[in-house]
Structure 1
């Protein structure tokens, strides 16, 4: 990096440009002037809803070359009016995180290593275990003969990274399966 000429000193720039407060053109470097927001270079903008909680804040997702480059609050949203909480503001990291998993990993009981499992096998394994747990702990009636039709072998603990519709459907699924221990961070 070369030496800074005296003409480039901030005080001299202030006097030369007439920027008395030093908060305008005198304070900006050529690099700063050339910067552009990622939103101006996006190919398209997609409206979405923040996935973190049940509030449903509107988001504008900026996409360039089929990759999410920025996520901001949607000013047209009647719920959030363009604002996002810290988690919603950082939701671009949910999509583009370098540690994001794109395959199913499975560790056998008492195993020490994770192994890759194809999606269909994983879904089949989960379904079999779900049905077996339901069957093993099914309660048709209580000790006095009253109808219960419930299972104590299944519980659901949901999170707000799913949207409201997905959480609603999961709640309905577990209720239909007879589960009574259903809890969610988003409190459907």
Structure 2
């Protein structure tokens, strides 16, 4: 094998010798065969990042019914295609294998979790809300009608979107709760 043939097999030597002015010598066939996950998506859905109150636009790429990639939406007037590190990692909210997808309950003073069906869990929550509201209801305070309860509070999370937080505020206000807060304001 001659010196030129030998030098032609090594990308670094081709670049140093000036035979590859565009510096494509370091590209491999595997690199050239790679395609972005977004190119093979069946559909793209527009969404809003669930983490904070900014409301950055997201493009959610779906293939075979599964989320394959989430990127910033360049058409969003708020974020113009940019996402913070949390927003960029929001794919893990729906695709992480360790994500809990069933109701887990730990009894008072219990040491382990048990699975409950959703209907039973909702009934337990409703019973506790009604009982707490009945026990802690204040009709009057210092001669004024207040019609409230201090026994129920709400702390909304930053992974809830604006609509969910709005509905929670309406629900807890209708129940008479006073302490209604959101993680984004704390």
Q: Which TM-score applies when normalising by structure 1? A: 0.90
User: Do 2:7 and 2:14's aligned partners in 1 also have CA atoms closer than 8 Å?
Assistant: no
Q: Is 1:13 matched up with 2:30?
A: no
Aligned counterpart, 1:151:
149
Mapped partners of 1:134, 1:35: distance in 2: 59
Alignment of 1:1-188 (within 5 A): 7-14=8-15, 18-20=19-21, 24-142=23-141, 144-187=142-185
Shift of 1:17: 7.2
CA RMSD of aligned residues (A): 1.6
Shift of 1:37: 0.7
Gaps of 5+ in 1: none
Mapped partners of 1:79, 1:38: distance in 2: 25
Report how many residues are paired: 180
Shift of 1:30: 2.0
After TM superposition, which residue ranges in structure 1, 4 or more long, deviate above 6 angstroms? Answer: none
Shift of 1:148: 1.1
Look up the SS of the partner of 1:182 in the other structure: strand
Q: Which TM-score applies when normalising by structure 2? A: 0.91
Gaps of 5+ in 2: 1-5
Shift of 1:6: 5.3
Shift of 1:24: 3.0
Shift of 1:167: 0.5
User: Do 1:17 and 1:26's aligned partners in 2 also have CA atoms closer than 8 Å?
Assistant: no
